[in-house]
Amino acid sequence: MPTLTPISEKSGIAGLLDAGERHFGLFFDYFSQYAKVRVSYRGDFFISLATSFAATIFALSFVVVLFQKVPQLAGWRFEEVLFLYGFSLIPYGIFNIVSLNLYDFGNNYIIEGKFDRVLLRPISSLFQVLFETFRIESLQEVATGVFCMWWATRHLGLAWTPAKVAMLFFFGLCAGIIYISVFLILSTVSFWFEDRIGVHPPVWNVMAFGRYPLSIYSGMVQFFLCWIIPFGLASFYPSVRMLGRTISPQYAPLVPVVAVVFLTIAISLWNFGTRHYSSTGT
């Protein structure tokens, strides 16, 4: 386990920097230790990696087959849809890397009583739950997404300027935060309702809707994917901005705002849940 250093007593900016440095060091320790254990079982790791990659390719092949039947999808060419699909894979991969404990939070931490152990440590409970385990094989989703975007831009004749690369990193981070925040909100339900399966599965399936142009959906579905469960907002409008397409309304500037709002709600619900958590006694 990582070595825990004493909690800083500094205040202000110095305290924030000290806390940030401490948490970054802990994150590095968590990731490196878990990666060593995961890779030590090489056969299991490479099977998981191959399975994950096969699932990504299988889902991506649907787009290829679709455009074998139709030349365009609501005015979108194959290369543009592939760009959108590729961008959506980047935050999805980031989310998948750290989402394992969120998906199993109700079963592993609440019902099995592991959350008691988490609360005894002098570090944020949310930090521990997010970064105790990783789905390392999901790095392939990020790599596949980058490759799809690169291939699409080559065939569209678009250049990767420094500004566009900066947008990719910025919007990718915002979208990843939205994904994590949505499922963190769902995980907090387990503080009050003990259910081994949880409420994640149906919402997990909604993620696939955000990989396609929102214009192919009805107005109600578009509203749902932008403002209720904003997976479409996280991927579609940033892609439109990077592609240089004109679409109305332009919601890309609202993506970081939505990310901050959902993250604030998620953390607030988590803190409220931990304050009202009752130990299982196991």
List, in sequence order, the alpha helices (H) in the chain: 12-40, 42-69, 78-98, 100-103, 115-120, 125-131, 139-156, 162-188, 200-206, 219-223, 231-243, 255-275
Does residue 2 fall inside a structural domain?
no
Domain extent at residue 189: 72-275
Neighbours of 38 (CB within 10 A): 17
Does residue 16 fall inside a structural domain?
no
CA atoms within 13 A on the CB side of 194: 11
Does residue 21 fall inside a structural domain?
no
- Report CA 107 to chain centroid distance, whole Å: 21
Does residue 120 fall inside a structural domain?
yes
Q: Cβ(152)–Cβ(79) under 8 Å?
A: yes
Does residue 49 fall inside a structural domain?
no
The per-residue pLDDT of the chain, averaged, comes to 87
Enter the pTM of the model: 0.88
pLDDT tens for 132-172 read: 888 989 999 999 999 999 999 999 999 999 999 999 999 99
Does residue 50 fall inside a structural domain?
no
Give the range with max mean pLDDT: 26-30, 147-151, 190-194, 244-248: 147-151
33, 99, 233, 238 from 85: Cα distances, Å: 32, 20, 13, 12
Q: How many domains does the chain have?
A: 1
Does residue 61 fall inside a structural domain?
no
Does residue 10 fall inside a structural domain?
no
Can you tell me the distance from the alpha carbon of 123 to that of 51, in angstroms, rounded to the nearest whole number?
Answer: 34
Q: Which of 55, 13, 7, 3 is nearest to 33 (CA)?
A: 3
